[in-house]
């Protein structure tokens, strides 16, 4: 019984006078978390293409997608007050680096409206019906990945060439596109299908 007690005492004295405490002096001395720490998620404006995959994968539904066709903008709003810091948004990001977790951990606040992280992207709308097709940067990214194959899809091709995307010069009474020239327009899948059907069966 005696020997172990002496050993413990020796260990305690070593910690106090030689090794120092195991704990840090935070908050007196700022503590820097390791680089691999899964802290506050943050968007990288340049790397994010606005596809919304992170919002769909988020298990805590901490990311909201708000599309506004009137201003042609898509907002991705991440609320880190309900984030569970799982890292799924980063692991499943389309471009790999659009969102990542920083080693920031001091997130306490009295105002929860401050706990947001937002990224904003331009939307591409169907020239006929105005439906949301996607974020322009996302369409460009897909076109870049497809290379020459993107020319098989006029929407991807035109979204990639910004100057070529122009509003329909001659809107018709009907919402349904009807001419062969309408094939080379930025159209949603439904309107493109209608063009093809009209082209094939008049």
Interface residues toward ligand SF4, by CB under 6 A: 41, 43, 48-54, 58, 60, 62-63, 76, 78, 83-89, 93-95, 98-99
- Answer whether 171's CB lies under 8 Å from 126's CB: no
Which C-beta is closer to ligand SF4: that of 49 or that of 126?
49
* CB 80, min distance to ligand SF4, A: 7
* CB 152, min distance to ligand SF4, A: 24
Measured CA distances, 108 to 112, 115, 131, 189 (Å): 9, 9, 40, 45
Which C-beta is closer to ligand SF4: that of 134 or that of 177?
134
* CB 164, min distance to ligand SF4, A: 24
Which C-beta is closer to ligand SF4: that of 89 or that of 188?
89
Which C-beta is closer to ligand SF4: that of 99 or that of 150?
99
* CB 106, min distance to ligand SF4, A: 17
* CB 147, min distance to ligand SF4, A: 20
Q: Which residue is nearest to ligand SF4 (CB)?
A: 98
Which C-beta is closer to ligand SF4: that of 54 or that of 150?
54
Structural tokens at position 200: 């094939």
- 198: which residues sit within 8 A by CB, 6+ positions away? 176, 177, 178
Which C-beta is closer to ligand SF4: that of 67 or that of 199?
67
Radius of gyration in angstroms for the set of CA atoms belonging to the chain, rounded to a whole number: 27
- Answer whether 195's CB lies under 8 Å from 183's CB: yes
Residue linked to tokens 């930025």:
186
Tell me how crowded residue 43 is: count the other CB atoms within 10 A of its CB: 21
* CB 30, min distance to ligand SF4, A: 24
Strands 99-101 and 41-43: antiparallel
Structural tokens at position 115: 């706990």
């Amino acid at each position: 019984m005696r020997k172990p007690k002496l050993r413990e005492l020796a260990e305690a004295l070593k910690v106090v006078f030689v090794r120092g405490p195991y704990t840090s002096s935070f908050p007196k001395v700022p503590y820097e978390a390791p680089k691999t720490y899964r802290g506050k998620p943050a968007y990288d404006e340049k790397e994010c293409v606005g596809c919304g995959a992170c919002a769909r994968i988020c298990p805590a539904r901490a990311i909201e997608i708000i599309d506004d066709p009137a201003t042609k903008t898509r907002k991705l709003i991440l609320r880190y007050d309900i984030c569970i810091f799982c890292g799924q948004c980063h692991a499943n990001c389309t471009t790999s680096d659009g969102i990542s977790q920083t080693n920031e951990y001091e997130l306490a606040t009295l105002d929860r409206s401050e706990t947001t992280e937002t990224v904003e992207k331009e939307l591409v709308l169907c020239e006929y019906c105005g439906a949301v097709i996607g974020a322009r940067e996302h369409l460009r990214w897909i076109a870049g990945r497809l290379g020459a194959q993107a020319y098989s899809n006029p929407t991807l091709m035109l979204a990639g060439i910004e100057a070529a995307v122009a509003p329909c010069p001659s809107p018709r009474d009907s919402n349904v596109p009807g001419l062969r020239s309408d094939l080379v327009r930025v159209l949603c899948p439904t309107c493109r299908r209608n063009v093809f059907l009209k082209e094939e069966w008049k």
